[in-house]
Amino acid sequence: MSAPIVHGGGITAAATALGGRPEDWLDLSTGINPCPVALPEIPARAWHRLPDRHLVDAARFAARDHYGSGEILPLPVPGTQSVIQLLPRLVGADERIAVTDDRIAVVSPTYGEYARAFTSAGFAVDAVNDVAAIGAAHRLAVVVNPNNPDGRIWPAETLVALHDRIKAANGFLVVDEAFGDTNPALSLASRAPQLSNLVIFRSFGKFFGLAGLRLGFAIAGENILERFEDWLGPWAVSGPALSLAASLLRSDVSPIHSRIEERSIGLHTALDGAGLRIAGGTALFTLVNDARASDIYTYLCQHHILVRKFDNAPDWLRFGLAPDPAADRRLGEALQRFKR
């Protein structure tokens, strides 16, 4: 068992350690849309019954149309984390006989759960910093696109070429598009039907502001999705989650885009006003590179503002979106006071 990774969202722990009521803290430690959509009505049967085929299919067809995955019906999963945990099985963790030469490549730095899942399963993980470093020794490669936390982007053509190279050695390419909703042009979803060794993960909760729901989608060839489905077992996703997906993935998402854009401008204004250097990000979070990062983190905590720091990159801080202009001002003023 490997040590758990500390993720964002630990506002209760922060409040317990540093005082204040959790609801009075400003939580900028996640990449979740801080303005959740209004919940559409959830039929009573979605709560009451085991999620049946009809409900699952409604979510899958809505996801196909929303993500543009053509003939592939995306598989609903209880958070992409649940399928990250299954990736070692996709490359045969069950069948391996003692030591293996198979290696896993993870374009890094990135979301830590990929390395954790493969290391736990006994694989050697290479943290590579460029897709060019991925080679025939790699049984599976992970690219988060856009990347978390730096927002680094890989063009579709680069990833298609990478897929073909990995596939030639019987490997798999996993592209995590958890933060892809705000940059749909980047998605490989429409190419997926032609790329048999590609697996795409999509997050539902980040863009819609419903991370508590635990819902994501896997997009891949039928033989891969059937294996995930088998490993997850029946009724892996809750009825309310499927019902909301079927409805929200068919709704007009342009107001969500506008709101995120507005919130992102508010965040950038606060960071710029404090003279912080923006090193990357997506519409849902911004990465700051500053030698004083650790002190800024502590100062903000003292003012009950939680951001995300990185043990392996001490100059980095990741700022999520604040829920409204007042919270932007609260952040901006705290940062300005720190400067003095």
- Residue from 107, 241, 284, 335 touching its own copies (CB under 8 A): that is 241
Whether the CB-CB separation of 269 and 328 falls below 8 Å is answered with yes
Q: In the chain, which residue ranges form alpha helices assigned H by DSSP?
A: 11-18, 44-48, 53-67, 80-84, 87-90, 113-120, 156-168, 205-208, 222-232, 239-248, 254-273, 293-302, 325-339
Whole-number minimum distance, CB 339 to its own copies, in Å? 30
Please identify, using beta-carbon distances, which residue of 46 and 198 lies nearer to its own copies.
46
Q: Which stretch binds its own copies (CB under 8 A): 146-154, 224-232, 255-263, 312-320?
A: 224-232
Whether the CB-CB separation of 25 and 13 falls below 8 Å is answered with no
Sequence-ordered list of residues with C-beta below 8 angstroms from that of 235, at least 6 positions apart, any chain: 50, 51
Comparing C-alpha atoms, which of 53, 46, 74 is closest to residue 249? 74
Whole-number minimum distance, CB 57 to its own copies, in Å? 9
- Tell me how far apart the alpha carbons of residues 60 and 217 are, in angstroms, rounded to a whole number: 9
Told to check if 234 binds its own copies by CB under 8 A, we report yes
Show the site string, 83-122: x = touches its own copies by CB under 8 A, - = not. Answer: -xx-------xx--xx--------------x---x--xxx
C-beta neighbour count of 71 within 10 angstroms: 8
Q: Which stretch binds its own copies (CB under 8 A): 2-10, 152-160, 180-188, 295-303?
A: 2-10
Please identify, using beta-carbon distances, which residue of 40 and 155 lies nearer to its own copies.
40
Whole-number minimum distance, CB 160 to its own copies, in Å? 29
- Residue from 28, 30, 282, 296 touching its own copies (CB under 8 A): that is 30
- The pair of three-digit structure tokens given for residue 129, joined into one six-digit string: 């910093």
- Tell me how far apart the alpha carbons of residues 269 and 256 are, in angstroms, rounded to a whole number: 20
Told to check if 289 binds its own copies by CB under 8 A, we report no
H or E segment at 138?
Answer: strand 138-144
Show the site string, 38-67: x = touches its own copies by CB under 8 A, - = not. Answer: -x----xxxxxxxxxxx-------------
Please identify, using beta-carbon distances, which residue of 209 and 332 lies nearer to its own copies.
209
Give me the residues that bind its own copies (CB under 8 A), please.
1-2, 4-5, 7-13, 22, 27, 30, 32, 36, 39, 44-54, 78-79, 81-82, 84-85, 93-94, 97-98, 113, 117, 120-122, 205, 209-214, 226-227, 230-241
